[in-house]
Structure 1
């Protein structure tokens, strides 16, 4: 008499052969969230790169017979007080919002990494002077520092990028300095110096590549914070002066109609929330992938 437990593990193919049943793989919910986040990010990038392929209407087209219309099959996100399609405004507004988030991370990350690398590798007086400068910047809250810089420079895309980038420099500098100081004291660095490698070659070939992983994770997570900071500056009136507003400006323009036309504020806010959440999910997974200890815990 055959064992029923064994029978349950066997299955018959179309050719009549009996072989073990393929193991059932559980669906990882975390992977589904990361996949969803990747789809959202790709869609937002497509909106920023080719908005004319996605938006059903030009962002400046005013339909006087459709002012303050709620969401419908004709206008998915409704219309604003000028009769403009809100979905089209959100699609076209993604370009400036994503540009602020990405470029501010690039500028702030490069500047902060350079300061942190010099401070950590050279040490001594360089470390003392540079870190005291970073400490001064860290005493000012990031959003307040960005607000002060944006107010001093005036409205403009590059001014917002610079303001948000400067606010993020202390964090990148601190992380990079800690990584450099941790790596430069390891035995293989001492061995490389003992065989005649110059300090520049040691830094370029051994120290710098080993210190980039946490910086990459921090930059990924920083994109969401930069987009929020840029949207906040635009909301306060320090953003771009254009016919096609970014997400923060859309929130500012629609706040006066929140009780009669909730969709003008809601959908730009949802766009910001979805993109920031998606970037944070990707950043968390990247951190787990680059940090085996955290992945196991």
Structure 2
């Protein structure tokens, strides 16, 4: 029997699987600039509002918003998960093996400084020169290169503060009497970490993974407002004679759909409303899953 407490986690898995298999079983709707009646007369132009033909409406290019949201979900969820996993792998390594360095005043001060520097600001400074380009220029990086660069930058932006947090937890674990006993009995540093530190640290890492995942999702949304999207930014002419640039996501990930269309808030609000609701639901489900994990490990 499915536990109701695990429903948020199951919903996240369901959304991801639908996003993976939907493009395989369903062809992408053809974008149409005009809709015609049976007599061939034009009855509507893009963007089309929500209807039985387009459940969530279309953007100004005539692309079905429902289809874009479905295929973009996997990029949003998978990329945020990969960044989180790399943070959780690197941060404990620094927190456990370099815990003695964290007692140094200058190292402590350096890591404390990262707590006050917004991660989005660090990411924007490092990513903008590589992902944003002039309209008449070619993109400087391919999609694979953009994903790799974003993975490295977003991972490193969150490692220092996460490592500091884990380092403080490790120092607290080392203050217990059982570790003093194991050390007196001749336990090597590797043995202490393997047998005593990591088993106590592991539940905290699981909870920290969920919190980092929500943090990465918020970070992606901040970057999207500055037109930095997962997989790269596609820049085209927004009007004739290139008076304005139009920014769109190469992968249609959810933060990119919001960041590329927020100018429609006063024109066609539904174009932004549905991606915002989807992103909010994703963060809500993540938070609910993290809360359940915290309750589970507190009982253990």
Which structure has the larger Rg over C-alpha atoms?
Answer: 1
TM alignment of 1:136-147, pairs within 5 A: 136-147=113-124
Q: Does 1:291 align with 2:275?
A: no
Q: Does 1:227 align with 2:217?
A: yes
Q: 2:28 maps to which residue?
A: 58
Q: 1:113 maps to which residue?
A: 92
Q: 2:55 maps to which residue?
A: 76
Question: Hey, which bits of structure 1, 4+ residues long, moved more than 6 A?
Answer: none
Count of residues in Structure 1 that have an aligned counterpart in Structure 2:
257
Aligned alpha-carbon RMSD (Å): 2.4
Return the TM-score normalized by structure 2. Answer: 0.76
Unmatched segments (≥5 aa) in structure 2 = 36-45, 133-145, 234-248
Q: Deviations over 1:76-95 (max 9, x none)?
A: 11111111110110111112
The 8 Å contact of residues 75 and 253 in structure 2, kept in 1 or not, is answered as yes
Mapped partners of 2:295, 2:147: distance in 1: 34
Mapped partners of 1:62, 1:140: distance in 2: 42
The 8 Å contact of residues 37 and 278 in structure 1, kept in 2 or not, is answered as yes
Mapped partners of 1:263, 1:47: distance in 2: 23
The 8 Å contact of residues 102 and 164 in structure 2, kept in 1 or not, is answered as no
Q: Does 1:149 align with 2:126?
A: yes
Mapped partners of 2:272, 2:27: distance in 1: 19
Q: Deviations over 1:198-218 (max 9, x none)?
A: 121111221122112122101
Q: CA deviation at 1:144?
A: 1.8
The 8 Å contact of residues 84 and 212 in structure 2, kept in 1 or not, is answered as yes
Unmatched segments (≥5 aa) in structure 1 = 1-30
The 8 Å contact of residues 80 and 86 in structure 1, kept in 2 or not, is answered as yes
Q: 1:27 maps to which residue?
A: none
